[in-house]
């Protein structure tokens, strides 16, 4: 284990963090071995589809999927990532079944939706947003608690008939679990200053998200709530990785 002196840090994303829940066993414990330092930002998933799909909003998408169980296809950048988990959570809550087609990365996953080989994808605003603007994809909804600044005209899934639905990526900093709290707080203060600079704030908002930059305690509480959501998805779907 690295020395817990504040000089070794880990920058993680939701996908890398929660992949631990998909394996039968891992040689570490997320809560014991990692000390949350700061949440960089939160970025929602963006539900986009091929323009030819006969659904223009969440309710039409659900109705279409119910008429064609298991036939609508969705891509993801890879099995077990947040795009995969988020779509499965949506399907479970909506009471539908769609076909998952995993890819090795977001670019080919989006490309096949544009080409019409796949029906839709839960993706980031930064990746799919330009294609929506060009008309190569159409936006169905956004999976955040509120509309995204990068796509203000796109309704949330929550306001479209699935109250409380949220599927977002976070980007955060962690220290080794035994790092003294004064060191964690000092790191947090510097990260928060950096994240609230105009350049970094713009980078996050351009991705359709918002700067979180909260305290270590607030980040830990956020992780606890978010973890519960994804653990439930993993258990309900029986999803595993080898």
Per-residue pLDDT of 185-218, as tens digits, reads 999 999 988 888 888 888 777 777 777 768 999 9
Residue spans of beta strands (DSSP E) within 87-144:
99-102, 120-124, 138-142
Q: Is the pLDDT of residue 28 over 90?
A: no
CA 168/CA 43 separation, integer angstroms: 5
Domain ranges of the chain: 10-40+169-237, 44-160
More confidently predicted of 92 and 213: 92
CA 9/CA 224 separation, integer angstroms: 20
Q: Is the pLDDT of residue 12 over 70?
A: yes
Q: Which fold has domain 44-160?
A: D-Maltodextrin-Binding Protein; domain 2 (3.40.190)
What predicted TM-score, i.e. pTM, was given to this entire model? 0.84
Q: Is the pLDDT of residue 1 over 70?
A: no
Is there a shared CATH topology between the 10-40+169-237 domain and the 44-160 domain? yes
Do 229 and 82 meet the contact criterion of CB atoms below 8 Å apart?
no
CATH of the structural domain 10-40+169-237, one choice from 3.40.50.300, 3.40.50.740, 3.40.190.150, 3.30.70.100: 3.40.190.150
Express each pLDDT in 62-88 by its tens digit. Answer: 999 999 999 999 999 988 888 999 999
Phi-psi region of 36 (alpha: psi -120 to 50; beta: other; left: phi over 0): beta
DSSP H helices in 19-124: 30-33, 58-67, 82-94, 106-114
Q: Is the pLDDT of residue 53 over 60?
A: yes
Rounded to 5 degrees, what angle do the CA atoms 211, 214, 215 make? Answer: 165
Q: Is the pLDDT of residue 147 over 90?
A: no
Express each pLDDT in 132-143 by its tens digit. Answer: 999 999 999 999
The token pair at 181 is 């709290």
Average pLDDT in the 20-40 region?
86
């Amino acid at each position: 284990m690295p020395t817990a002196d504040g000089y070794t840090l880990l920058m993680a994303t939701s996908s890398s963090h929660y992949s631990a829940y998909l394996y039968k066993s891992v040689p570490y414990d997320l809560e014991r071995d990692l000390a949350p330092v700061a949440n960089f930002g939160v970025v929602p998933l963006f539900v986009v589809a091929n323009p030819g799909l006969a659904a223009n909003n969440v309710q039409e998408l659900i109705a279409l999927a119910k008429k064609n169980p298991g036939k609508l296809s969705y891509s993801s950048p890879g099995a077990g990532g947040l795009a995969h988990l988020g779509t499965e959570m949506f399907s479970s809550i909506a009471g539908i079944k769609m076909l998952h087609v995993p890819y090795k990365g977001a670019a080919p996953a989006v490309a096949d939706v544009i080409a019409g080989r796949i029906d839709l994808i839960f993706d980031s605003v930064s990746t799919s947003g330009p294609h929506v603007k060009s008309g190569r994809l159409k936006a169905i909804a956004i999976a955040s608690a509120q509309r995204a600044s990068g796509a203000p005209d796109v309704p949330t899934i929550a306001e479209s008939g699935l109250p409380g639905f949220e599927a977002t990526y976070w980007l955060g900093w962690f220290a080794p679990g035994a790092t003294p709290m004064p060191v964690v707080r000092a790191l947090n203060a510097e990260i928060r200053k950096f994240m609230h600079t105009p350049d970094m704030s713009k980078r996050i908002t351009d991705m359709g998200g918002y700067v979180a930059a909260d305290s270590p305690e607030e980040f830990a509480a956020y992780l606890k709530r978010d973890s519960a959501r994804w653990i439930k998805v993993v258990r309900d779907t029986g999803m595993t990785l080898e």
